[in-house]
Amino acid sequence: MSALTPASEVILRHQDRFLDKQVLFAGDIQDTLPAEFEANVVRVHTAWYHHAKTLRARMAEETVGYGLVASSDMVGQCDTLIYFWPKNKPEAQFQLMNLLSLMPLGSDIFIVGENRSGVRSAEGMLTDYSSLGKIDSARRCGLYHGTLSTQPSFDADEFWNGYQVDDVVVKTLPGVFSRDGLDSGTQLLLSTFTEPVKGAVADIGCGTGVLSAVLAARSPGIKLTLTDAHAPALAAAEATLAANGLTGTVVVSDVYSDLSGRFDMIISNPPFHDGMHTNLQAAESLIRGALAHLRIGGQLRIVANAFLPYPDLLDAVFGNHQVLAQNGRFKVYLSTHQVSRGKDKKR
């Protein structure tokens, strides 16, 4: 069995309870436990594209759902939910209300998560629908169990929120980065755009789409491509563009996995967490793969926490970097795809 998270190891302590069950895995799944799990039926719903891709490589594709909301066909045939608690409580509420509104009454509900993630609040969140109680505690995780006694009503439209940046309307959903307002890192990155932007721009890990929307409002005529692996972020980005009368191509992609073509600029406020844990893989992939997606003379412009080790990587990949702006927490880096880099000399 592949390496599992502590939460998955806690679930395996109770493996025998699931052998005759129709199990749905959902929430913040970060390993391949569903592909290795012993149960009568195993299905998965995830809002993260890269996790869906990993699991589809190990399971029948039709048993792994990806998207903002789960389908009744996926959920309604299951009698047991194993939900991995995310670090974002509003996202947990959105997902659990969606899932439990589709599951049959009497279904077993198992919720597991790291104690520091706030998994304890599951009991209060579901008090009207199930009497949850803790049944295990190990590996700094808690496991809660209950039976679905009342189905909640669910309307995804009720979870939308929004705010404004200058004259740009930003649409947001639970779990999307900067849901409640513009974060200081993105604000610093935007401050470095003192001249109009031209050409094709790729916004990698676009989140709400605020970077693209603000740049397009300042620089009409740019060609936007927005990508993210998180289904709520993609929905928010599409809604942000629509709310401002802007056009752009929104693509589901794990960094560059499903992105084609070359661009004049790549912009990003890349994540450095996966759930509760530090993970620089996405940001490092963003930097390492940038040359293959930039035209000669194209620029990569990113903002990152000042302590992260990106300058050396930028120099190794591009042979150059500048710090355009910085404050006590963040730095904005710019690297340019120069014709003198390696095999691009011949282009």
Residues pairing with 204 in the sheet:
227
Give the C-alpha separation, 247 to 268, whole Å: 19
Query: What's the CA angle centered on 234, arms 231 and 240, to 5 degrees?
Result: 140
Q: Are strands 330-336 and 294-305 parallel, antiparallel or unpaired?
A: antiparallel
pLDDT of residue 315: 95
Give the C-alpha separation, 107 to 250, whole Å: 37
Is residue 345 scored above 60 in pLDDT? no
Is residue 145 scored above 80 in pLDDT? yes
Query: Which of 12-26, 138-152, 273-287 comes out lowest in average pLDDT?
Result: 273-287
In order of their start, the domains of the chain are 6-156 (3.40.50.150), 160-337 (3.40.50.150)
pLDDT of residue 282: 80
Give the C-alpha separation, 41 to 20, whole Å: 8
Query: What's the CA angle centered on 38, arms 99 and 60, to 5 degrees?
Result: 65
Q: What is the pTM of this model?
A: 0.92
Which two structure tokens, joined as six digits, stand for 146? 């209950």
Which two structure tokens, joined as six digits, stand for 196? 């109009």
Count of CB atoms situated within 10 Å of the CB of 305: 11
Q: Is 260 left (phi over 0), alpha (psi -120 to 50) or beta?
A: beta
Residue 346: band (very low, low, confident or very high) from pLDDT cuts 50, 70, 90? very low
- Give 49-86 pLDDT, tens digit per residue: 999 999 999 999 999 999 999 999 999 999 999 999 99
Q: What is the mean pLDDT of the chain?
A: 93
* Count of residues making up the chain: 347
pLDDT of residue 328: 85
